[in-house]
Amino acid sequence: MATEKPVTPTEEQLEILEYNFCKVNKHPDPTTLCLIAAETGLSEDQTLKWFKQRLAEWRKSEGLPSESGSVRD
């Protein structure tokens, strides 16, 4: 099986991803994730991976544990 190559989102895709992360929801449900993926042109897996990495960065910047399911924004 071929593994998906890492994709660096374009500036436009990053704007959409960041907007959704900051203004809409840091924890998108599967439906929302699908809509964001469609809007950006990325796969759902790529979009989910981006959100997970961005959430880890955000938690680190906020001084929170990297994996904490009990604290929601």
Single pTM value for the model: 0.77
Instruction: Write out the chain's pLDDT in tens, 73 residues.
Output: 556 566 789 999 999 999 999 999 999 999 999 999 999 999 999 999 999 999 999 999 888 876 655 445 4
Other Cβ atoms closer than 10 A to 35: 15
Residue count of the chain, please give it: 73
The pLDDT of residue 66: 67
The whole-number pLDDT of residue 73 equals: 44
Q: Which domains does the chain have, with CATH numbers?
A: 11-62 (1.10.10.60)
What is the model's pLDDT at position 26? Answer: 92
